[in-house]
Structure 1
């Protein structure tokens, strides 16, 4: 029997103010609402930028991709810089297959994503 790893999403405030949302576990139809709520809460704080760190996501389904696309569009509407940290096959493969990887600002590390959003938001 496979045991599901529950989704966990936490937000840290970095200087700027930049909010870094770290998501871990499974991001799919059962768990995407928690990730969406964390992202919406971050945008409501009106930061300069949001970095969504998916390096600890073990599986991402189409609902997870929808969270990313919605966050990308919301950031554009609000004028908030937005970047995604993705460096694992479990996240990059679905993004490539769905051709979303060309739409999102993807970075292999949190430091690179933070540097990119700082550059865009200045």
Structure 2
């Protein structure tokens, strides 16, 4: 009978064979023989040799890349008024009145020009200011604002303001905005002077 310690020898069979060699398939594979697998949904660590390189960053465009569209008014750096189409204005002054004839559309681009012309010192002091719109076939809200502004200023100063030669399209806009009940409209300059 052998020594009891001989029975406690583990992992050995007769002839010094290893148990895994003698009984294949009964023991699981050693952990160190397995290759580590990567989780499919997990990103690789940056230090790994097969890690994907980050995509290059595209710099955002600077202010110079944002150019104004063709429809936007171009603003002069030395002026607060937008540059663009201009009106043809002609003035005729009488003893107590002044007639300003306008040629061209009155809109966002041209309303400031008209307003500046009608608020000069010469125009402010005349008792009756007549705006001849015979050659104006279009006006927008900027024009209506200019008309109301001139009317208010002259009324506060005790002076008159009248519109003549209003074309059908312009009259329709004045009627839709109910400004025909605020502004003084006449067919001709002669009609206005006959009331003075």
TM-fit CA distance, 1:90: 2.5
| Counterpart Cα distance in 1 of 2:166 and 2:98 | 19
Determine the structure 2 residue equivalent to 1:92.
Answer: 171
In structure 1, C-alpha distance between the alignment counterparts of 2:88 and 2:138, rounded to whole Å = 13
Higher RCO structure, 1 or 2 (CA under 8 Å, sep 6+): 1
Aligned partners of 1:101 and 1:64: how far apart in 2? 14
Aligned to 1:73: 152
| Cα distance in structure 1, aligned partners of 2:134 and 2:117 | 16
> Who is 1:9 aligned against?
89
Return the offset for 1:77. Answer: 0.8
When normalised by structure 2's length, the TM-score is 0.53
Aligned to 2:180: 101
Offset at residue 93 of structure 1 (A)? 1.1
1:86: Cα distance to partner? 3.5
1:114 to partner: Cα distance: 2.1
Gaps of 5+ in 2: 1-83
Q: Output the aligned Cα RMSD.
A: 1.7
Instruction: Tell me the TM-score normalized by structure 1.
Output: 0.83
- Once the two structures are superposed, residues 89-117 of structure 1 have per-residue CA deviations (whole angstroms, 9 ceiling, x without a partner) of 1321110111111111100111112223x
Quote the residue 1:33 is aligned against. 112
Q: More helix by proportion, 1 or 2?
A: 1
Aligned residues: 112
Equivalent residues of 1:9, 1:21 under 8 A apart? yes
Which protein shows a greater Rg?
2
For 1:111 and 1:38, how far apart are their aligned partners in 2?
22
- Which of 22, 43, 57 is 2:101 aligned to? 22
Structure 1 runs, 4 residues or longer, greater than 6 Å off: none
The answer (yes or no) to whether the contact 2:89–2:102 under 8 Å persists in 1 is yes
Q: Is the 8 A contact 1:57 1:90 kept in 2?
A: no
Query: Larger strand proportion, structure 1 or 2?
Result: 1
